[in-house]
Amino acid sequence: MKVIQAYWQNNTWTYIKPKLKLKDPLVLVFAERTLLERKEVLKNIREEFPYKNIVFSSTAGEIIGSQVLENSITITAIEFEKSSFIIKKANLFDFGKDSYSIGKNLIEQLPSKDLKHIFIISEGSFVNGSKLIEGIESKLPSDVKVTGGICGDNDRFEKTLVSFQKDPTEGEIVIIGFYGDSLEFSYASFGGWVPFGPERIITKSEGNILYEIDGIPALDIYSKYLGEKAFELPQSALLFPLNVQASGKTQPVVRTILNINQENKSMIFAGDVPENSRTQLMMASVDAIIEGAIDAAKIAIDNRKKAPEVAFLVSCIGRKMVMDQRTEEEVEEVLEIIGKNSATAGFYSYGEIAPFHQGENCELHNQTMTLTLISE
């Protein structure tokens, strides 16, 4: 495996892994959304990295090495020497915004023979991450796992952009299938947030739209807890995600808000919020969030046969908002555990995709640090 890493900021390229000539690499571009809307910037990226298998994603903050950047472009190019990959894409608008259907379509595009792992980069404005995962897993071999993330737009929540080869666009979802016996993948997801206040029941919801908790409009409950910060919705709700324990599920999931509807006082979340689920608001301290990242790293590195050569980190924008000036600390702590020789890349997201632990089914998470470790 050969890896190049660089970032573009203030009109300058900086390489943190030396520039090499690679053969048909996978090129991942994580960037500030407004930069991906500029034709001259896209031209610059393609001239610097003139490869065909290039995937673009907007973010809520870019991770490269031990750094967390803003208003930048980060690029990780990976040449797989003993294995291979296949990239497919589809647009949510072509499926009537049906996240389950597009997930099923994407997995059907990938050959199943020798498939080792799947990494998803999804648009973040319209997708129901839970249904996307369900669609993918409906046709997925049981021994193949899924990780990835839902892209972001800082705390603007205006639009998100993703693409494969073409210019980044709204509604796009990209799936990367990895093939080969030499590949070793491990993964983990952990939060560090704690519930507070009374436990309540979700009394009215539809998919990822929450209408009522304990018979009270969801937006009214949030507004009560947020106080003056209610005027900053939906951004301020990132500081108080929901802990959702659905019936029949062994572990609760955390759900982060994507948008609100003032007319019917509903809230739109990144994944399902099923009726009759038990729910509580959550909060976190900086130290607890960093401890969550440490726990994720320990789980991901445990029992690996080989040291990871590449580490993809997807962390939630809500964590970044809480940590503020200390954001890089969670990345630094992860690297202390997984090893600083790994080429580390990733982004702050609107949702994280991974199983809780090795061997489990995939879940959509919010407010977690999610790791995908790869070696060849």
User: Residue 239 has which token pair?
Assistant: 């500081």
Give pLDDT, residue 189.
Answer: 92
DSSP code per residue over 11-48: TEEEEEE-----SS-EEEEEE-HHHHT-HHHHHHHHHH
- DSSP annotation of 56: E
Three-state DSSP class for residue 256: coil
Beta strands 351-355 and 172-179 are unpaired
Give pLDDT, residue 284.
Answer: 83
Give pLDDT, residue 357.
Answer: 67
Beta strands 115-122 and 145-150 are parallel
Per-residue pLDDT of 57-83, as tens digits, reads 999 999 999 999 999 999 999 999 999
Give pLDDT, residue 359.
Answer: 65
Q: Where in the chain is the domain with CATH 2.40.10?
A: 194-282
- Please give the chain's pLDDT, 376 residues, in tens: 999 999 999 999 999 988 999 999 999 999 999 999 999 999 999 999 999 999 999 999 999 999 999 999 999 999 999 999 999 999 999 999 999 999 999 999 999 999 999 999 999 999 999 999 999 999 999 899 999 999 999 988 899 999 999 999 999 999 999 999 999 999 999 998 889 889 999 999 999 999 999 999 999 988 888 888 888 888 888 888 899 999 888 888 999 888 899 999 999 998 899 999 999 999 888 999 999 999 999 999 998 999 999 999 999 999 999 999 999 999 999 999 999 999 999 999 999 999 876 667 788 898 899 999 999 9
Per-residue pLDDT of 299-317, as tens digits, reads 999 989 999 999 999 999 9
Q: What is d(CA 281, CA 199) in angstroms, rounded to the nearest whole number? A: 8
H helix or E strand, kind and range, residue 226: helix 218-226
Say what the pTM is. Answer: 0.93
Domain 194-282 = CATH 2.40.10: yes
Spatial CA neighbour of 211 closest among 289, 274, 130 = 274
Percent of residues, the chain, with pLDDT higher than 90: 80
**Is the Cβ–Cβ distance between 171 and 92 less than 8 Å?**
yes
**Is the Cβ–Cβ distance between 124 and 349 less than 8 Å?**
yes
H helix or E strand, kind and range, residue 173: strand 172-179
**Residue 111 burial by Cβ neighbours in a 10 Å radius (0-12, 13-18, 19+):** exposed
Q: What is the CA radius of gyration of the chain?
A: 19
Give pLDDT, residue 361.
Answer: 77
364-374 CB burial, b ≥16 within 10 A, e <16: bbbbbbbbbbb
